[in-house]
Amino acid sequence: MSLRRFTEHALSEWMRGEGPQSDIVISSRVRIARNLSGLPFPMLATSSQSAEVVRKVEEALRQNPVDLVIREAELIRMDDLSDLEKRVLVEKHLISPHLAEESRHGAVILSKNEAVSIMINEEDHLRIQCLFPGLQTDQAWRLADELDNGFENTLSYAFSEKSGYLTSCPTNVGTGIRASVMVHLPALAMTQQMNRLFPAITQVGLAVRGIYGEGSEALGNLYQVSNQVTLGQAEQEIIDKLQSVVRQMIEHEKNARERLMETMRTQLEDRVHRSFGVLAHARIISSKEAMERLSDVRLGVDLGLLSSVSANVMNELMVKTQPGFLQQHARMRLDSDERDMRRAALIREHIHKQD
């Protein structure tokens, strides 16, 4: 496999299939944090110690029995990537901003369909990430657990009988599992219900973050909902609580969509078609406006108000219009004005291709 396979295609293979509740839930992710015994956490490790972690994980990868999943996986070292290539992988949610910007001797193992991403020397030695379309946290957890068990057959993890798996961040100590679901909530945003919903979610031990996780902005009405604590809770308990809360969010969003269709259908149609018109004809468009307009159009597709484009094209454009991907596609650095022009041209091209 070539690195270009991961950086030139916006839509990962795992995203092409439709999962449960895919009109609202974009994806489900489970990430497991693990550290190797006898070696310092990445933030304290020397260069030679970090390189040893990569060597041990690479060796374990060759011996991992879960070969059907990662048989054609590729280990990519961050030092071999340009800043733009790293940014594209962040925009596709295949690596974290921390791994791209701050890790020493960082690397990532990517499966062919990009559903499995195993980060090495991020905040922890290993972060095993599994991604599924729609609401499939159970399936993501089963695969992550299977991969984790496979690595544990070869690697010795840092573990305490009292505290569980030891991690660099105290909130991950215990099971080390972080489950998250990315949801599209345009109707709740339009009806101004978010300020009431989010505090209720945090009260039950979940966090709501932006599109790229902690500290990021919620662009295009996309939010990540995840567990905050792993200590003292069983893995399935964490998954079940997240699923329960997300199902309630789905219900709230569906109710809000129904009310909009019943009471403001003409205004909603106008908003959807105006956004479609801007995307189809604009010559200059910022990243933020593009995400807002794409959110409107995606809602129109899901409600049957637009039939000329597919939800997959909207998913693809949400990645392709990001700054890193635009510059990777252009094969050059672009300033803000140049990105806005290329973004508009790219969107026009995709929409007219659909027509």
Q: Which residues are annotated as a binding site?
A: 27-31, 93, 127, 178-182, 209-214
Please state, in angstroms and rounded to a whole number, the distance separating the CA atoms of residues 314 and 351.
Answer: 10
Q: How far is CA 325 from CA 9, 26, 218, 292, 328, in A?
A: 9, 20, 19, 18, 5
Q: Give me the helix-helix angle, 311-320 and 323-330, nearest 10°.
A: 80
Please state, in angstroms and rounded to a whole number, the distance separating the CA atoms of residues 84 and 68.
Answer: 31
Q: How far is CA 173 from CA 34, 96, 102, 229, in A?
A: 10, 19, 22, 8
Q: Which residues contact 244 (CB under 8 A, 6 or more apart)?
A: none
Residue 112: what are its φ and ψ, rounded to 5°? -60, -40
Query: What burial class does residue 48 get, using C-beta atoms within 10 Å of its C-beta: 0-12 exposed, 13-18 middle, 19+ buried?
Result: exposed
Q: Which residues contact 78 (CB under 8 A, 6 or more apart)?
A: 86, 99, 100, 103, 105, 106, 107, 108
Binding-site positions for ATP read 27-31, 93, 127, 178-182, 209-214
3-state SS assignment for residue 40: coil
* Whether the Cβ atoms of residue 53 and residue 168 lie closer than 8 Å to each other: no
